[in-house]
Amino acid sequence: MATRRSHKKSRNGCEQCKRRRVKCDEDNPCKNCSRRGMECTFDSRGSLTPPDRPNETGILVDLRDRMLASEQPGEAADPFRVFNERIERGAFFPQEWTGQDFELMHHYTMYTCKTIARRPDIQETWQEAIPKIAYSYEFLMHGILAFSALHLAHLKPERHSYYLASSGFHMTLGLRSFRRILLSPTNDNCCALFAFCSFIMVYISASPTEPAEPDLGDGLDSIIELLGLCRGTLVLAPYLERIQTTPLKPLFLSEFYADVSSPTGSGYQFDGLEEHLAHLHQLIQSNISDSISAESYLRALDRLKASFETIRCFELPLEIGLLYIWPLSIDEPFFNELKQRHPVALVFLATYSVQLHAFSDYWFVGQQGFAWLSRISAVLPGEFHEFLTWPRLYSSQDPIP
């Protein structure tokens, strides 16, 4: 009869292994962190030394820690596959690139890049740094052209279908290479991958929530799919510190954050938020009986509150990257609750839709917040509609600070 191998029990492993709930070999650095390209906090003398961090707000530190601890199981859970298939259905495929690509690139560098950001140095990143990276990575060039075509579809309603098909063509070609290269990110390609992820996040913000085809149902699945695509970018977490040392640094917005503990009052106020969040806390207590699930909901609520506070304290004008804090910071158990359409999770999503309203001056966001709220309201059981009062009230107002 075989005997179990003995092993030494220890609580002195590194923080990264503890968060991932895997055994740490207590080397310095440990093999798990070395294999994943992560900074290891294990100290062989028995203490844990936290890595140096820049002066960041709490939600951003929490977000980065959670991203570094996340597991990305690879192609089997590829969140971009369904998106790729949906884009392909509406794309027109010429045999080769056409002269229209020059039109799209010109429009991007002259106009589109300036609509993705409000501050000149961030606009410059989109206008100069990212196209320079795209010279060496064709998938990123396709991402640029796809977003430019989407912008032209917005600007020229009379040619909307034409530019929308062109956008789908370039996004599909870009996704094909991107998904393959994303399986093995390196220090050399991480900036190109991160830039393409950034394009995907703003691209999907412009995606209609109305079902374009009968088999797409009520539109809510499309919304949840969009959140899943945002979360698919977590695979690049081990490379974030490196990317922040490159010309893409302005995209991280770190120099524009005010002190969250001392609100300046210059950001969006979200009047009535605290009372609404208190109601959500009571909603968890009365509807989520399982203690493990309740903890996941409470974490999602804490991160939802923190994301609102970060937007509140950000120096105006708002930058679009703020909109993706909450989808990136929720954990997988809560995201599964969303996918299963649990009513309490949908109420949280309705609350988050208020943030979209604050960014409605971006052409690729527009009235998406109101559309999301309508989709959620249509499927939410009647006894939960009272928790939509605040999101409805706020979304009916003009999006001013």
pLDDT above 90: percentage of residues in the chain: 53
pLDDT by residue (tens digit) across 49-73?
333 333 344 444 555 555 444 444 4
> What is the structure's pLDDT at 44?
37
Number of structural domains (the chain) is 2
Of 102-116, 155-169, 214-228, 256-270, which range is least confident? 256-270
**Could you tell me if 226 and 280 lie in one domain?**
no
Of 111-120, 199-208, 237-246, 289-298, which range is least confident? 199-208
pLDDT by residue (tens digit) across 93-103?
554 556 688 99
In a domain, 46, yes or no: no
**Could you tell me if 272 and 378 lie in one domain?**
yes
**Could you tell me if 107 and 233 lie in one domain?**
yes
> What is the structure's pLDDT at 95?
42
**Could you tell me if 219 and 279 lie in one domain?**
no
In a domain, 59, yes or no: no
Is residue 194 a contact partner of residue 236, using CB atoms and an 8 Å limit?
yes
In a domain, 68, yes or no: no
> What is the structure's pLDDT at 77?
52
**Could you tell me if 371 and 273 lie in one domain?**
yes
> What is the structure's pLDDT at 218?
64
> What is the structure's pLDDT at 4?
45
Q: Please, what is the Cα angle at 271 between 267 and 277, to 5 degrees? A: 110
Range from 88-92, 211-215, 317-321 that averages highest in pLDDT: 317-321
> What is the structure's pLDDT at 51?
34
The last residue of one of the domains, among 181, 209, 244, is 244
**Could you tell me if 388 and 294 lie in one domain?**
yes
Of 133-142, 161-170, 294-303, which range is least confident? 161-170
> What is the structure's pLDDT at 38?
56
**Could you tell me if 289 and 217 lie in one domain?**
no
- pLDDT exceeds cutoff 60 at 1: no
Q: What is the pTM of this model?
A: 0.75
CA distance 206 to 20: 34
In a domain, 42, yes or no: no
Stretch 198-214: mean pLDDT, rounded? 69
Domain that holds residue 128: 98-244
CA distance 156 to 288: 48
- pLDDT exceeds cutoff 50 at 86: yes
> What is the structure's pLDDT at 52?
37
**Could you tell me if 307 and 345 lie in one domain?**
yes
**Could you tell me if 376 and 307 lie in one domain?**
yes
Range from 66-70, 288-292, 342-346 that averages highest in pLDDT: 342-346
In a domain, 113, yes or no: yes
**Could you tell me if 103 and 237 lie in one domain?**
yes
In a domain, 57, yes or no: no
Q: Helix 343-358 and helix 291-313: axis angle, to 10°? A: 10
CA distance 167 to 108: 12
In a domain, 50, yes or no: no
The last residue of one of the domains, among 244, 274, 295, is 244
